Amino acid sequence: MASTSHLFFTLILITLACSAELQPWTDWDKLQSCTPSFYSNVFTREEELVAFLKGSSSWDQVKVVGAGHSFSSITLTDDGEGQTAMLNLDSYSGIVSVEEGDQDGVKHVEVKAGTRLRDLNTLLEARGLALINLGATAAQSIAGAISTSTHGTGSSLGSISSDVVGLRLIDAMGVVHDSRQEPNVLIYGRVSLGVLGVISTVTIKAVPLFKMKLSKFDLPLTELLENHDAYLANYSRFQWSTVPYTSTATVLLREPVPLDTPITDCWADPPTYPCVDVSYKTLVDSLERYDNRTLYTECEHFIGRENTLPAVNDFLDFQEDVKDQHNESKCDLFFNIRYVAADDIPLSPMYQRDIAVLSFICLGTIDHTGDSSEFKMYASGLENLTKLNYDGVPHWGKQNWATYEDIAPFYQEMDDFNAFREKLDPRGIFLNDYTRVRLGLTT
């Protein structure tokens, strides 16, 4: 019975694939685009994904797209590479189960891969639960977020991937692998760059719902730099930013408060600081705040935390060196610093070292050219100095120009990752140009 329905589903998809006109796909702010031979967002069950992949011999490339919220080309199919398929899992969303975890109060929540973090936050809130940490937005899908090691800030808090305790993954032949039976699925799959197969479900830790006070204030940049280590030591969720060519730093602090503290709406526009809200509303911006932006592109580099101040000072010096090339009308610039705890995930930028994350953001109206000379000048400057002086590695999902030679010395388990990948996908259908270059798989 199951195989008849698989066959039927596959036949429908093949018919759709043959009849569909090629449509370009673009990411959230239209900076990355590709034209897959086939695009589908109809998947509602794991069995349907299995059926699709069992019939995947006709595809030269299969990429899964989450929310399309990466700034790098990690998600793209490669135009001109034969028959390419892009699968969107937006219809495969929701919580599968909630079970007791092995730590006090911690639950293990199994979530369908396409679930957007914003939806997961509200589903968890309704159950009196919350994720431990989040990045700056919750627009991503859970599988997309972990695939690039998405993180927030917190001196002893890891990335979202580091809170993952279980995975179900479908390989290129349509075989389902569950980390409960195959530990390597969890070891390598928590940060998979989308190249191990289609993640079907993610089991992630959740804690009892909590509230936080969010404070945001400005102070002189020199004062922030003088007191940097004290801020980091005294506040578990510290981050800060500065606008190039100003002498001001903006600090964001989040501190837990008792659950009965009244909410003052951190998503008000604008909020009155300090504000108090359920944790996720203090961690991420409301989606409207991002939607209203005309352009937003970003690069981000991970360095050992002990090098934070030297690297920040080097980049401030670099900014002075290129000041005469700054064109205010093209980009509003932000230099943002966060902190993430070490983990043991082979392709995690936090692999075995506590990290400072230096990101550079261009907000503006430069007509969707993320490689504009303005952004690229700063982004490549930050990439070069973190790489050459501080063993920096880039965020997999943000703009970067890294090669295998640049990053292989840091990712000591990359060969093991590649060997595992080859078992799951001998034909390499989940690879694309971006991942081949960085995994050393170009020939």
Distances (CA, A) of 348 to 236, 388, 389, 425: 21, 19, 20, 21
Is residue 65 close enough to count as binding ligand FAD by CB under 6 A? yes
Nearer to ligand FAD, 381 or 394 (CB): 394
Given a contact cutoff of 8 angstroms between Cβ atoms, the answer to whether 159 and 350 are in contact is: yes
In the region spanning residues 171 to 230, those forming contacts with ligand FAD, defined by CB under 6 A, are 193-194, 198-199
Query: Of 210, 273, 290, 334, which one interacts with ligand FAD (CB under 6 A)?
Result: 290
Nearer to ligand FAD, 226 or 333 (CB): 333
Total length of the chain: 443
First to last CA, the chain: 43
Given a contact cutoff of 8 angstroms between Cβ atoms, the answer to whether 189 and 108 are in contact is: no
User: How far apart are the C-alpha atoms of 193 and 136, rounded to whole Å?
Assistant: 20
Is residue 167 close enough to count as binding ligand FAD by CB under 6 A? no
Is residue 431 close enough to count as binding ligand FAD by CB under 6 A? no
Query: Of 31, 50, 51, 64, which one interacts with ligand FAD (CB under 6 A)?
Result: 64
Name which of 63, 345, 42 is nearest 194 in CA terms. Answer: 63
Q: Which stretch binds ligand FAD (CB under 6 A): 139-147, 204-212, 262-270, 363-371?
A: 139-147
For 7-58, strand residue ranges (E) read: 25-26, 33-34, 38-40
User: How many chain residues interact with ligand FAD (CB under 6 A)?
Assistant: 34
Helix (H) or strand (E) holding 309: helix 308-321
Is residue 151 close enough to count as binding ligand FAD by CB under 6 A? yes
- Examine residue 274 and say whether the peptide bond preceding it is cis (omega within 30 degrees of 0): yes
Is residue 141 close enough to count as binding ligand FAD by CB under 6 A? yes
Is residue 66 close enough to count as binding ligand FAD by CB under 6 A? yes
Is residue 162 close enough to count as binding ligand FAD by CB under 6 A? no
Q: Which stretch binds ligand FAD (CB under 6 A): 142-150, 228-236, 267-275, 419-427?
A: 142-150
Is residue 75 close enough to count as binding ligand FAD by CB under 6 A? yes
Structure-derived torsion over alpha carbons of residues 156, 157, 158, 164, reported in degrees to the nearest 10: 130
What single-letter DSSP state applies at residue 57?
A: G
Is residue 150 close enough to count as binding ligand FAD by CB under 6 A? yes
Is residue 143 close enough to count as binding ligand FAD by CB under 6 A? yes
User: How far apart are the C-alpha atoms of 257 and 211, rounded to whole Å?
Assistant: 6
Interface residues with ligand FAD (CB under 6 A)? 28, 63-70, 74-75, 89, 113, 135-137, 140-141, 143-145, 147-148, 150-152, 193-194, 198-199, 290, 296, 395, 397
